[in-house]
Structure 1
Amino acid sequence: MDDEESLEEWARRREERRAASTGKLRAVPLGSGKHRGAHVDPGAPRAIERWTGEQWEAVGVVDDLAAAKAVLYPPRPAKERPAEWDRPPRGETRGRHRKQDPAEERDQ
Structure 2
Amino acid sequence: MDDEPLAEWAERRDARVGQLRAVPLVTGGGPRASHLNPEAPRAIQRWNGHMWEPHGFAANLAEARRVLFPHAEAASAPETTTPRLDPGTGRHRKPPP
For this structure pair, what is the TM-score category when the shorter chain's length is used for normalisation? Answer: 0.5 to 0.7
Task: Report if the CA contact (8 A) 2:23-2:32 is conserved.
Answer: no
Give the equivalent residue in structure 2 for 1:69: 65
Give the equivalent residue in structure 2 for 1:12: 7
Give the equivalent residue in structure 2 for 1:29: 24
TM-score (norm 2): 0.67
Displacement of 1:11: 1.0
Q: Distance in 1 between matches of 2:32 and 2:44?
A: 16
Secondary structure in structure 1 of the residue aligned to 2:5: helix
Query: How many residues are paired up?
Result: 73
Give the equivalent residue in structure 2 for 1:94: none
Work out whether 1:47 is the aligned partner of 2:43.
yes
Q: Distance in 2 between matches of 1:63 and 1:36?
A: 15
Deviations 1:69-102 (A, max 9, x none): 0000112567xxxxxxxxxxxxxxxxxxxxxxxx
Deviations 1:10-61 (A, max 9, x none): 2111100111011100000011133421001111100000000000010111
Q: Which amino acid in 1 is paired with 2:6?
A: A
Structure (1 or 2) with the greater helix fraction:
1
| Structure 1: runs of 5+ lacking an equivalent | 79-108
Secondary structure in structure 1 of the residue aligned to 2:53: strand
Task: Report if the CA contact (8 A) 2:25-2:41 is conserved.
Answer: yes
Alpha carbon RMSD of aligned pairs, Å?
A: 1.9
Secondary structure in structure 1 of the residue aligned to 2:26: coil
TM-score (norm 1): 0.60
Q: Distance in 2 between matches of 1:66 and 1:15?
A: 33
